[in-house]
Amino acid sequence: MGQSPRKGVVNSGVFEVPHFTFWTIVYTAIGAAVFWGRTGRTKLRVYYLSYVFDMVRFPDGPLRQVLEFTIFMVFGVLIGIGIANPGTVAQAITAGFAWTGFVAKRA
C-alpha cells in the first residue's frame, strides 16, 4: 500500500491513514484533558461550539459542561491523532495539547 507498481518506489501522493490504537487514544485524551483542566472552560472555547449551544438555547449548567468537555475530548483525540499521527507517549500527549491551536481560541 502506498507503493507504485515499481518495487521499492514510494508514491508520496497517497494519504497516510492515522493509527487509532487504544494507547494513542488514551494518551492523546490525557493531553487534551490536562489542557482543558489547566486552561479551563471559561478561558478556552472551541470555535462555535458554545455558540451552537447558545443558538439551540441549551442552558448553562452541569450537563452542558460535561457535553462541552466530552466534545472537546473527542475533537482532541480525532484532530490530535489525525494531524500528528503520534508514535510515542510524548507525541500523543503533545498532540492532545497542540490540536487546540487549530480549532480553539482563548476567551
C-alpha cell at 78: 480525532
pLDDT per residue as tens digits for the range 22-77: 999 999 999 988 888 887 777 766 667 778 888 999 998 999 888 888 988 898 89
CA distances from 17 to 44, 81, 101, 105 (A): 29, 10, 22, 27
**Residue 95 contacts by C-beta under 8 Å, 6 or more apart in sequence?**
28, 31, 80, 81, 83, 84, 86
Q: Where are the domains of the chain?
A: 22-106
Whether pTM exceeds 0.85: no
pLDDT tier at 11, thresholds 50, 70, 90:
low
Residue 98: per-residue pLDDT:
83
Q: Are 98 and 105 in contact (CB under 8 A)?
A: no
Mean predicted confidence (pLDDT) in 10-19: 71
Residue 26: per-residue pLDDT:
94
Host H or E run for residue 46: strand 44-46
Look at residues 81, 68, 67 and name the one whose alpha carbon lies nearest to residue 27: 81
CA distance 37 to 43: 10
